[in-house]
Every structure is written in structure tokens, then in C-alpha cells.
A and B are shown apart, each in its own frame.
Chain A
Amino acid sequence: MGEPHPKLQATGLTRTFGRAPHAVDALGPLELAVAPGEFVCVVGPSGCGKSTLLRIAAGLLRPSTGTLSIRATSPRPAAMIFQDYGIYDWKTVRANVRFGLDVQRVPRREADARADAWLARTGLSAFADAYPSTLSGGMRQRVAIARALAVEPELLLMDEPFAALDAQLRTILQEELLDLVQATRTTTLFVTHSLEEALLLGDRVLVMSARPGRIIAEHHPPFPRPRTAAVRDAPEFTALKGALRELLRKEAVTA
């Protein structure tokens, strides 16, 4: 991207786990620039360091070498959505969605209003006072999405958010997410195994190699925004998916 000020920029980023004789190189070296408002999908074989990249961006983990810089107005610009929901069983749906706002000390009245607005946008209003354990997997993941977006993050990090859902529910949530991100234009880093998901949602799809993960290919799905689920049926979609699948198959063999 020719943007002069990328939202997120990684230079020479690597991460190693463990110490000397048993050290494992998980990631990089990796160069990456993400423009403001861009939706970047990262695909790659299992264990290629995709999640490590997200965790570094989130500030949960430090890089071993290199840096990752984020342009932001707040000191905690990121929100993250985890594969296993990461929502709390002991909080009601509304309290879960409000959690990020509570942590940021948003006044209760405003926090409730913002939480309720996001509950409405994600179709959860009827469950506001329910506990997550009474919800289905799809509903729980909607709670996680609403919780992340409620803080209006400058950077949204999603770590295989739909991996635990069944195929039908997956497509439904993909479309819901598509609508949400096209409305908010939040800069997003989205890790997934699903090529379809990546092509449907991403402005850019990065393909990572087997461990240690480096970027080996970059695609710009040629579908203008606002997109709808109909792009799934476009011939370019199928062709691009086929090309990416070939690329990943080679990496999966070495992984």
C-alpha cells in the first residue's frame, strides 16, 4: 500500500520460543504494513506463527527481534477476538459486551448505552440478561465480536474467530462481520484457515509459509466494496481460491 502512514508496521519481526538448545523459531523475519481502515487476512499452515503475530500486535507477547509499531491515539488501541470466545461465563451477555468499556472506566450509563447499541447490531438484544453458557456457539461468538467492537478499537485482531463453528453458521457470521466492518472501517488483522473467509472479508490476503512463518504471497481480492455474499459465486473468487489452495498445500507438506 502506498500510504505514507501505515496504521501498523512490522520490520524484521521475529519470535523464538524456548531457550538455546530447544529454541523454536516461530515467526519471521516478517515485513508488513497495514493501511488505516484496511482489512488484512492472514492464512497459513497450522503452527506457522499467525497467532504469534497477532499476540505481538495485541501486546500479549514481545517480539524476539525487530519491531511492530502501531499508529494510534490511545495507549490501548487494540481489541482481540479469540477462537474459543474468551468471553466470561460469570458475566451476563450485556456485562460481557460492556467489559472492555468497564475496564476503560467509561461511565456506567454511557457504557450500558453503547453495549446495548452493539447488542442490537449483533442481534443479541433478546439475550442481554442471559449467561453465555445458555447460548449456542454462534451466539457466544457474536458476544465476543460485540465486546471487541464496543470499545471502538483502532485495531481489531481476530484469531480464527469462526474456527469452532459449523460450516453453515460460519458463512452466516462471515456475512455479518462483513457488514459490520464495512460500516465501521476498522483496521483489522484477521487470522484464519479458511481461504473463502479470507477472500470474502479481506482487502488483502497474506499467505504465510510453514514455521518460521514468513509472508510468501500477497493477493488483493478484486471485489469492490461494499461486498456482499454474492462474491462467493464469482469466477475470480473460485480461481483465486484454487491458486491459494495450491500454494498452501506445498507449505502444509513441509509443516
Chain B
Amino acid sequence: MSAPPTERAETVLVRRPGPEELHPARAHRRRRVVELSLAAAVPLALVLLWQLAAARGWIDDRVYPAPSTIAADGWHRAVAGQLWPDVAATLGRVLSGYVIGTAAGYALGLLMGSSALVRAALEPLLDALYVVPKLALLPVFLNMFGLGEGPQVALVAATVFFFVWISTMSAVLAVPSGHRDAGRVFGASRWQMFRHVLLPASLPAVLVGARIAAGVAVLVIVAAEQIAASDGLGHLIFDARALFENDVMFVGIVCVALLGVAFSELVRLLGRLLTPWSPRDDERTRT
């Protein structure tokens, strides 16, 4: 049934080296250049469009100040030292809340991942708490910790906790049983099992959770500062809007964006150092 149909003309199909094979170094360099210029060009183009729109009066530049105005204003505030107290306040809250939340989420995730009893006891409860919007807990935290740093830090910690807890627990549960069995046959103790098998095996997935949590931590703190704080970037943004200082508002927004990017890059860098065996993101996307 599969005798080749002879009436159709035969052609010769040639597999030959492409540009990437003929000039590997040049092709690699060119791809890097294209990638880097795209990464820079897309945001730059959007900013330029915004600038143009503001200059031409397509948008109301009192509501949406031109990027140049925002940059100039940000620069003056930074030089005058008016910006740093707010940045420092936000950074301090995010970092302390993040450390507490990650540590607690990781510990509980490991415990629940390795013990079916603890999992049975706590999972329904935590699942229920997980879906409560954390911002709705801010009043509770305000009652618990009073004014000051307490409520803000607690809110970030509570948010981060759930991300890290869920990713840790599922990562530990997903450790292949062959990995565990090999340790068990050698007679590994609970600690040895954790140290040699569960910790490294779960770490890549935990770090993904930690990175998502880093972004969400910044998001939550800014929202919280708008509601109940007398400093911080969130306070700055809302305060500026109330005073109709829209350029200051955008300075605050840009600072938040930069802070978020820097923070999640930091977590990613840390993750790369902690998991040298794991394929890097940029290698994962291209083979």
C-alpha cells in the first residue's frame, strides 16, 4: 500500500548548515544584540510615545505628566534627599516582612510536605486562609500591633508566607519516590533525608514561589501604605495624588517599579547561587 507513487517527480531535499552553524560566534553575537536591543527598545518606544503624546497635547499633561517632567522631578527630589526616607521605609518593611514570611512558609511547607498527619491537620485551615485577601487582614493587624511598623510587616509576611508555603509543600510532595527510597535504604535519618534529599530536590520549585512572592510583597506593601502609614512609597503616591502633584505620584510609581524589579532580580540571583545544578532560565528557553 505504500509503494512510492512513481508519477510524482522526485526532488532532492538537502539538509545543510544554516548561518548559525557556519558562523556560530557571529550568529550568537547577533542574537544577543537583537535580544538586548529589543529588551531596551520596547520600553523606550513606549516612553517616547508617552513623551510625544504629552508634548503634542494628546493627553492632559496635568494628569499624565511627560516622562521628562517625571524624570526631572525625581532627580530633584533624589538630590534634595526627599525621596530616600520613603524608599527606605518601604524597603525596610518589605525586607523584614519577606524574611519572616519566607522562613515561616518554608518551615511549614517542609513539615507539611514530609508529614501526612501535619498536612491533614493544617491543610484545610491554611487553604481557607489562603483565599482571604491579605489586605482585608490589615485592620486585624492594626488592632494586633497598633500603629507603627508592625501591621505593615505582618501583612507582607502573611502574603509571602502563603506563596512560599504552597510551593514548598508541593515541591516536597513532588520529590520522586526513587530519591527518597535511595536514602531510606541507606538508613538516612529524618535530618539526613532533609539535608541530602528533600532540601536540594525541592529548592528550585521553592525559589520560583519565592520569586513570585517578592513581586507580590512590593505590591501589597504599597497598597498597605496607602491605607495606614505616614511614610513609604505607597503613602507618597496617594498623598501626591490628594495634593494633585501628579508628577510626584508618578515618581513614586516609577520607584515602586524599580524596587520590585531589583528585589525579584535579587531573589533570582540568590536562587541561582543556591542551585548551581539547576538549568538557568535563559538556557531553559533556548536549546
Partner of B25, one of A20, A57, A66, A69: A20
Cβ contact within 8 Å between A56 and B21:
no
Which of B3-11, B155-163, B268-276 is the interface stretch?
B3-11
Partner of B1, one of A57, A71, A152: A152
Instruction: Identify which of residues 53-74 in chain A touch chain B, using a CB-to-CB cut-off of 8 Å.
Output: 56-57, 59, 62-74
Cβ contact within 8 Å between A67 and B25:
no
Closest chain B residue, CB of each to CB of A77 = B13
Instruction: Identify which of residues 177-193 in chain A touch chain B, using a CB-to-CB cut-off of 8 Å.
Output: 184-186
- Kindly list chain A residues whose C-beta atoms are within 8 Å of the C-beta of B3: 185
Partner of A63, one of B9, B16, B28: B16
- Kindly list chain A residues whose C-beta atoms are within 8 Å of the C-beta of B25: 19-20
Closest chain A residue, CB of each to CB of B28 = A19
Cβ contact within 8 Å between B4 and A73:
yes
| Interface size counted on chain A using CB atoms at 8 A | 28
Partner of A62, one of B4, B9, B12, B21: B21
Given contact pairs A19-B24, A74-B8, A75-B13, a sample of 6 additional A-B residue pairs in the complex whose CB atoms are under 8 Å apart: A62-B17, A62-B20, A66-B17, A67-B16, A69-B15, A73-B9
Closest chain A residue, CB of each to CB of B20 = A62
Closest chain A residue, CB of each to CB of B21 = A64
**Interface: B2 (CB within 8 A):** yes
Closest CB pairs A-B (n = 8): A152-B2, A73-B8, A68-B15, A70-B13, A69-B14, A67-B16, A64-B21, A184-B2
Instruction: Identify which of residues 1-48 in chain B touch chain A, using a CB-to-CB cut-off of 8 Å.
Output: 1-5, 8-18, 20-21, 24-25, 28
Given contacts A19-B25, A186-B2, contact A57 B10 (CB under 8 A): no
Q: List 10 A-B contacts (CB under 8 A).
A: A62-B16, A63-B16, A64-B21, A66-B16, A71-B13, A73-B4, A73-B5, A73-B8, A154-B4, A185-B3
- Kindly list chain B residues whose C-beta atoms are within 8 Å of the C-beta of A74: 8
Cβ contact within 8 Å between A71 and B10:
yes
Given contacts A19-B28, A73-B4, A152-B1, contact A62 B10 (CB under 8 A): no
- The interface size bin for chain B is 20 to 34
B29 to chain A, nearest CB (A): 10
Cβ contact within 8 Å between A62 and B1:
no
Q: How far is the CA of A67 from the CA of B16 in the complex (A)?
A: 5
A105 to chain B, nearest CB (A): 17
Q: How far is the CA of A66 from the CA of B11 in the complex (A)?
A: 19
Cβ contact within 8 Å between A63 and B10:
no
Cβ contact within 8 Å between B10 and A72:
yes
- Kindly list chain A residues whose C-beta atoms are within 8 Å of the C-beta of B14: 67-70
- Kindly list chain A residues whose C-beta atoms are within 8 Å of the C-beta of B9: 73
B118 to chain A, nearest CB (A): 31
Q: How far is the CA of A149 from the CA of B1 in the complex (A)?
A: 11
Q: How far is the CA of A195 from the CA of B12 in the complex (A)?
A: 32
Q: How far is the CA of A54 from the CA of B5 in the complex (A)?
A: 25
Instruction: Identify which of residues 205-238 in chain A touch chain B, using a CB-to-CB cut-off of 8 Å.
Output: none
Q: How far is the CA of A8 from the CA of B9 in the complex (A)?
A: 16
- Kindly list chain B residues whose C-beta atoms are within 8 Å of the C-beta of A62: 15-18, 20-21
Cβ contact within 8 Å between B13 and A72:
yes
